[in-house]
Amino acid sequence: MGKKRAGKPKFDVKRFVHDHCADPEHVSKLLDSTDKWHSSWISWRRKNPKVVPCLSDLKAKNCSLQDVELQHARLGGAVFCQSDLYNAKFTGAHCQFADFDGARLLKAVLCHADFYCASFNQADCSDADFRGANLSGAAFYGTNLARANLRRADLKGAVFNGANFTGADLTGADLRGIQLQHCIFVETNLRNADMSGAFVYGVSIWDTDIIGTRQRDLIITPGEPYITVDNLEVAQFIYLLVNNQKVRHIIDTIDRMEIIGDAGEVEVAGEVEVEGEGAGEVAGEVEVAPPERLRHCVGSNRSCRSEAEPR
């Protein structure tokens, strides 16, 4: 008697619906308007601690959901835009492709949750806790992230153009390939973060901690041809040096600049290796040339180069 051949695994419809679709009972309990929703929802969750709320594709636009407890809930594709989620709990939640545009997430707890490709445009995420969260591919256009905790968060390929990181903590965060055009970094902690390949055109940097931060190939131009530097703090200066004719003329008149302070004499000098018409000698050994010919810049062991030139 021959062996019975194993067929293809049977598609489990119930399991698929359970994993990917909202449970009507869970939705009604969350959005019940006949009672104080938070009381009934919290009571139900505490009575059923092993039940994972299935709220995928939930439509909760412009809702008042302060202090809501959604730990470990399935919220893929859910819509929370313009909702009040003050102090909401999303720890370990699955929020892929969720929409939080314009939401109030002040002091929300979102640590270790999955927000892959989620949208937080124009949201207020000040003082929010994103520790260890997956935010890769997410959108944060114009988002307020003041004092937010993003320690060890995964932000690869996310877009933060125009976001405010004042006082935020991004220690050990993965920022590779992130878009940070026109962002504000004031007293921000970037210790040991990896910013390799980040787009930093128009970034404002003040009193930011970059000890141990990987800053390889930061792109300082708004588009092609790309010019890259290896230090966030000098990015704006290099861009002005390359693209602002007035700044270059001023520097061309300087043979050497010395700053005398209480601590003694400090020299402002470095090397920029360039070629082309109009190159001049500035700040000791600094030479300036048209931006298209910029090849190599070294200042305090940091470099900048044009992507148009071979490495």
Q: Domain ranges for the chain, please list them.
A: 240-306
The closest alpha carbon to 58, from 88, 107, 97, 13, belongs to 97
pLDDT surpasses 60 at 208: yes
72-113 pLDDT, tens digit per residue, is 999 999 999 999 999 999 999 999 999 999 999 999 999 999
pLDDT surpasses 80 at 128: yes
The pLDDT assigned to 302 comes to: 39
Which amino acid appears at position 272 of this protein?
V
Task: Determine the average pLDDT of the residues in 198-215.
Answer: 93
β-strand pairing of 204-206 with 184-186: parallel
Name the more confident of 23 and 124. 124
Under 8 Å between Cβ of 104 and 82:
no
Instruction: Map residue 14 onto helix, strand or coil.
Output: helix
Tokens for 2, please give them.
């021959």
182-192 pLDDT, tens digit per residue, is 999 999 999 99
- Please provide the average confidence, as pLDDT, over all residues in the chain: 77
CA torsion sign for 92, 181, 302, 149 is: negative
Name the more confident of 205 and 310. 205
pLDDT band at 47 (very low <50, low <70, confident <90, very high): confident
Return the residue matching tokens 């601690």. 49
In this prediction the pTM is 0.72
By CB atoms closer than 10 A (0-12, 13-18, 19+), residue 60 is: buried
Under 8 Å between Cβ of 113 and 133:
yes
Name the more confident of 130 and 21. 130
pLDDT band at 51 (very low <50, low <70, confident <90, very high): confident
The pLDDT assigned to 21 comes to: 65
pLDDT surpasses 60 at 236: yes
Q: 49 φ, ψ to 5°? A: -65, -25
The pLDDT assigned to 253 comes to: 58
The pLDDT assigned to 224 comes to: 79
Under 8 Å between Cβ of 100 and 80:
yes
Contacts of residue 167, defined as CB under 8 A and 6 or more positions apart, other chains included, come to 146, 147, 186, 187, 188
The closest alpha carbon to 160, from 189, 186, 184, 180, belongs to 180
The pLDDT assigned to 247 comes to: 60
Name the more confident of 37 and 216. 216
User: What is the spatial distance between Cα 174 and Cα 10, in angstroms, rounded to a whole number?
Assistant: 39
Contacts of residue 201, defined as CB under 8 A and 6 or more positions apart, other chains included, come to 181, 182, 219, 220, 221, 222, 239
DSSP state letter for 225: S
Task: Determine the average pLDDT of the residues in 104-123.
Answer: 97
